[in-house]
Amino acid sequence: MPPCFTDLAQRAAARAGFDGFAPDCCLINRYSVGAQMGTHRDFDERDLAQPIVSVSLGLPAVFCWYGPVRSGKPLRVPLESGDVLVWGASARTGYHAVRRVAGVGDPLADPHRYNLTFRRAR
């Protein structure tokens, strides 16, 4: 992983109260207009004490946070390009989703949404 990615994830985690975060992977998702990510939780890593750092780039999206159960009305968080979310501790295994990406992109830029998700997987 490029050092600038590691630095970004570590600084974001530290600002959210997770000092010492040492990400060892970055998952990159590319969303076209109309794409979405269904409700799920990130539960595959060995050390769930480490936070998740999520960086949004490109088209805006709506992040939905359900919490410990996959039901009810989620907290809807609008995300713009450059927004960073960090979650850990008791929220680490919470259910979440990304609603359908709407709108059209800037005609001079790539008309997609990118999400960089940093974790400690090993």
Q: Which tens digit of pLDDT belongs to each residue from 7-26?
A: 999 999 999 999 999 999 99
Domains of the chain with bracketed CATH: 3-119 (2.60.120.590)
What is residue 105's predicted lDDT score, i.e. its pLDDT? 57
Please report the pLDDT score of residue 44 as a whole number.
Answer: 83
Output the pTM of the full model: 0.91
Residue 21's pLDDT is 96
pLDDT along the chain (122 residues), means of 10: 95 97 94 93 87 94 95 95 95 94 68 93 86
Residue 90, exposed/middle/buried by CB under 10 A (0-12, 13-18, 19+)?
exposed
